[in-house]
């Protein structure tokens, strides 16, 4: 019996030794050098793997940014929209570089064609996909530029930041938005735009993308931009341009004076998170402003305690 034990131990021992030697050679021959900084960068990234930076996941972003930092000595073109400036600062620190701060952005839905403003003219039956409906027809309200309300943007969002409002049939962005841009790509009608969040979340934008003549546009939706040009004239900062009957506010030039909001005849220009004006109750009593006002209060409370961006990133990391 003894020799059986010895033989088995010997056989297994030799086998283990041979395997170990093979493994050692293989490991050293096929060793892939990986910059340890890639791992470091990856740990500070939000790990949402949303692709908002343009790379397929956080790991790919870490690899690409580390490589680029080594080669070009800059982080130009690399920005994690989810983590924002804080995360990018950490990434830059790891890579030993400086970065310019970017203004925080947010997704903005530029359509106000709710059931009330743009009543249904036809009844749609089919799959709930904007992409499909877009190929089929103009839309229930008749506006061929407006929101179809079938929620491709909601499906695309990884952060639970955009939801359909069943009362209006339009998507609403909440403060979980990280400006990753997934909804912008998902929307077949380019209604959603990434805009600057603005100081204290104040922003002004044209909530319409209808490029048709004013008469046609207003026929389908009472809050459409008719391209009248009043806002363009009143703007002192050249922030507003009108192309094919549609006004657009350049958020880099806009100083938030709110004059355009006052002159807009169809209430197509929105101001968000401003304090309601006392002398002009007409604007303040816009029905669509209601949910936003609630949001303002919430954010003001947060702002008193600490910077609201911190709270945002914390939430998105959860």
Q: Closest distance between another protein and the C-beta of residue 142, in Å?
A: 7
Whole-angstrom Cα distance, residue 316 to residue 313? 5
Q: Which is nearer to another protein, 63 or 152 (CB)?
A: 152
Whole-angstrom Cα distance, residue 172 to residue 251? 20
Nearest alpha-carbon partner for 318 in 152, 33, 82: 82
Q: Which is nearer to another protein, 88 or 246 (CB)?
A: 246
Q: Closest distance between another protein and the C-beta of residue 212, in Å?
A: 6
Whole-angstrom Cα distance, residue 84 to residue 89? 9
Q: Closest distance between another protein and the C-beta of residue 58, in Å?
A: 21
Q: Closest distance between another protein and the C-beta of residue 146, in Å?
A: 12
Q: Closest distance between another protein and the C-beta of residue 213, in Å?
A: 8
> Which two tokens mark 227?
């391209």
CA distances from 236 to 60, 133, 199, 256 (A): 44, 40, 19, 11
Q: Which is nearer to another protein, 216 or 299 (CB)?
A: 216
Q: Which is nearer to another protein, 104 or 142 (CB)?
A: 142
Q: Which is nearer to another protein, 144 or 311 (CB)?
A: 144
Q: Closest distance between another protein and the C-beta of residue 126, in Å?
A: 5
Binding site for another protein (CB under 8 A): 120-127, 129, 131-132, 135-138, 140, 142, 144, 212-213, 216
Q: Which is nearer to another protein, 191 or 260 (CB)?
A: 191
| Helix residue spans in 129-243 (DSSP H) | 130-136, 152-156, 182-186, 214-220, 230-234
Nearest alpha-carbon partner for 76 in 52, 105, 98: 98
What own/partner pairs with CB < 8 Å and gap ≥ 24 does 69-78 have? 69/95, 69/96, 69/97, 70/35, 70/95, 73/97, 75/99, 78/53
Q: Closest distance between another protein and the C-beta of residue 38, in Å?
A: 27
User: Taking each helix axis from N to C terminus, what angle separates 36-44 and 84-95, rounded to the nearest 10 degrees?
Assistant: 160
Strands 105-109 and 192-196: antiparallel
Q: Which is nearer to another protein, 38 or 217 (CB)?
A: 217
**CA triplet 128, 130, 131: central angle to 5 degrees?**
115
């Amino acid at each position: 019996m003894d020799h059986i034990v010895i033989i088995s131990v010997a056989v297994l021992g030799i086998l283990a030794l041979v395997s170990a030697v093979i493994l050692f050679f293989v490991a050293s021959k096929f060793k892939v050098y990986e910059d340890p900084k890639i791992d470091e960068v990856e740990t500070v990234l939000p790990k949402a793997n949303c692709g908002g930076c343009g790379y397929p996941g956080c790991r790919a972003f870490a690899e690409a940014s580390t490589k680029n930092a080594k080669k070009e000595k800059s982080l130009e073109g690399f920005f994690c929209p989810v983590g924002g400036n804080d995360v990018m600062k950490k990434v830059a620190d790891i890579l030993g570089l400086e970065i310019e701060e970017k203004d925080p952005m947010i997704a903005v839905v530029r359509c106000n064609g709710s059931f009330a403003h743009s009543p249904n003219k036809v009844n749609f039956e089919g799959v709930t996909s904007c992409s499909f409906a877009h190929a089929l027809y103009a839309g229930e309200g008749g506006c061929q530029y407006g929101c179809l309300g079938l929620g491709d943007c909601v499906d695309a969002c990884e952060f639970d930041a955009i939801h359909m409002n069943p009362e209006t049939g339009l998507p609403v962005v909440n403060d979980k938005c990280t400006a990753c841009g997934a909804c912008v790509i998902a929307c077949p009608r380019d209604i959603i735009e990434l805009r600057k969040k603005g100081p204290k979340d104040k922003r002004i934008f044209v909530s319409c993308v209808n490029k048709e003549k004013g008469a046609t546009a207003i026929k389908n939706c009472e809050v459409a931009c008719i391209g009248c040009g009043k806002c363009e004239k009143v703007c002192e900062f050249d922030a507003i341009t009108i192309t094919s009957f549609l006004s657009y506010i350049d958020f880099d030039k806009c100083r938030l004076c709110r004059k355009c909001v006052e002159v807009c005849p169809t209430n197509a220009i929105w101001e968000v998170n401003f304090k309601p004006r006392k002398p002009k109750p007409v604007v303040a009593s816009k029905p669509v402003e209601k949910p936003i006002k609630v949001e303002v209060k919430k954010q003001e409370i947060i702002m008193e305690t600490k910077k609201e961006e911190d709270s945002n990133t914390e939430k998105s990391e959860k």
